[in-house]
Amino acid sequence: MTNNAEWWKKGVFYQVYPRSYMDKNGDGVGDIAGITDRLNYIADLGIDGLWISPCFESPMKDFGYDVSDYRKIDSLFGSNQDFDVLLKKAHDFGIKVIVDMVMSHTSDQHMWFKESRLGNDNRKKDWYVWTDPKPDGSPPNNWQSIFGGPAWTYDTKRCQYYMHSFLKEQPDLNYHNPDVRNQMLSECEYWLEMGVDGFRLDAFNHCFHDEKLRDNPVRDMSSLSTGLQIDSVIPYSMQQHVHDKSQPEMIGLIQDVRALMDKYPDTMTLGEIGDDDPYARTAEYTSGNDKLNTAYNIHFIAGSSSTNLTPEKIKLPFREVKKYPNHGWPSWAFTNHDAVRVATRWGKGVQDRANFAALLNKLLLSLRGTPFLYQGDELGLPEAVIPFDQIQDPWGKFMWPEWQGRDGCRTPMPWNKDAVAAGFSTNTNDRQPPWLPIPTDHKKLAVNLQDEDPKSTLNQTRDFIKWRKTQPLLQTGEIEFDENSGEDIIAFDRFDGDARMTCIFNIKEKESEYKGSKYAPLSATYIAH
C-alpha cells in the first residue's frame, strides 16, 4: 500500500460551498456541474485537494447538514452522474476530492427516522436517541442544542423525546447500537467505491452520548470562551459538555473508520472536533496509526469581527499542541462556511485590504499543518452584510440582531464584475436571483478584475502556492516561533534537520523592525539558512 499521508500533508486544500460557487443551470443555486466548470480555475490556483461541503439529498433545513439519503446527490445540485463527472475531471487535473460526511445525525425526513418514529416494535426503534419524559413531562436532562433551546424534542407519535444536538429536524443517531455504526460505515464505503479521496467528518465527536443521560455540569462563566463564531453567550455555552459528546466510545468508532479507509489506498479523514478541550481531544483522536489522519482545528476561526490578528493568536495553538506529544498532524483554516470571513474579522481598520488578505493567505500556507482555503479567501472577500428579510440561516434567525448568522460568508462567488449576478449564474435575464445577495464590494473583487492585476490578492496567492510547492520545509517541516518578536511581527522557523527557513510577517501597515532589519508594511519575508 502506498503511503496515504503524504499528499494531504504536503498539499493545499480548497473548500467549496456548492450552493454558492457556480450556478450552471441558472436556478440561482450553485451546483455540481458549476464546480466542474470551474475546475480549471481551481487547478490554476494550485490546489491539491478539494473539500466539497454537503451535497447529498436533504430537505435543506440546515443547507445539507441534514441528510435524508447518503447515497444520492440532491437534485438541487445535480445527480450522482454529475458528481462522477466532477470526480473524474478533478482527478484528471491531479486534484483529490473529499466530501462532507455528516455521521452524527440525519434529517428527520430520512427513512431511518421515519421508521424509528413508528414505535418500539420496529427494526430501527433504537437507531436514534429516544427516551421517556420525566414524570412532569419535561426533557430527561439539561442538554442544550447548539442552535438554541433544549437538545430534546417530544414526538407525539412515539410519546418520547428524541435528542438533537442541532436543529430539531436533525435527530442524533444512536451509535451505541452496532447496527447504526455498521450502516454508516457502509454509507461511507459507497462513496469510497465511487472514488472519493476521503471525508471531512462533520461534528464527529457528537456521535456518542452518555447512555445514562446525566446532566452536564455548569461552566464557570468568568472564563467563558464559547469556541463559536459569535460573541453572545448562549445556553449551550453555559455548560461543560461532559456527557452529550466526546464520549470514550468514540475511539472504537474512529478505529473502525480508519480500518475502512485503509482498504482504499491514499484516502484520508479530516475530523471536525468541537470540544471543551479541542487540543486534548484532537491528540486522542489522531494519535497512532489507527485513528483519524488529521483534525480540523477551529482556533483561528472562532470569534467575530471584534477580534484582531496578533502574534499571540497565531502562537497559542502551537503552544497548546506541544502539550500533547502524541498530537497528530494538524489542519488549519482562517475561514470556512460557519465563520465570519477573516478579512473582516482580523482586518478591522486596515486600509490596504488586498495586501492584507494576501498576507493572511501566505501566513496560513506557511504554518505547520495542512492549510484549507475557503472559496473567496483567494480574492480577499470581506464578510457580507445580509438584510434580515434575506437571511436564510436558521442560526442567524435565532441569534438576530446580535448576529446575522453564517450567511455573510456564504454569498455567491463573484466571477465577473459586470455580468448578471457577478457571473455566478448562467441565467442572464436576472429573473432568478441568487439564493443570497452578492454585495457591491464583492463585485469589485471579482475574479476577472483580479486576473488582470499582477498585485491582486488572487495573483499573489496563486504565485505563493506555486512557490510553496518547491519548498519542502513549508510543506512538512517542524515549526518554532520566536516568542519575542513583538506586536508587529510574527516570526517562526520551519526546519528539518539542519535545513531551516525563517518566516517573517509584518502584520502592520507601517514599516516594522525585527532583529535589526526593517520590513515593509504587510510583507512576508522568507530567509533560507
Catalytic positions, written as ranges: 202, 272
- Backbone φ and ψ for 526, nearest 5 degrees, come out as -125, 125
Distance CA 23, CA 421 (A): 10
SS3 content of the chain, % helix, strand, coil (to 5): 30, 20, 50
Question: What one-character-per-residue DSSP string does 358-408 give?
Answer: HHHHHHHTTSSSEEEEETTGGGTPPPPP--GGG---HHHHHHTTT--TTGG
Burial class (CB in 10 A: 0-12, 13-18, 19+), 347: buried
- Report, in angstroms and rounded to the nearest whole number, the Rg of the chain calculated over CA atoms: 23
CB 314 within 8 A of CB 490: yes
Q: Which parts of 95-246 fold into alpha helices (H)?
A: 111-116, 178-194
CA distances from 47 to 37, 204, 270, 363 (A): 15, 25, 17, 16
Residue 286 phi, psi dihedral angles, 5° rounding: -120, 5
Cell triple for 170: 436533525
Could you tell me the three cell numbers for 118? 413508528
Reduce the DSSP state of residue 453 to 3 states and report it: coil
From residue 52, alpha-carbon distances to 20, 150, 384 in Å are: 11, 31, 21
Which three cell numbers, joined as nine digits, stand for 82?
454529475
343 and 336 Cβ atoms separated by less than 8 Å: no
Q: What Cα–Cα distance (Å) separates residue 486 from each residue in 185, 269, 508?
A: 49, 37, 12
CA distance 359 to 523: 7
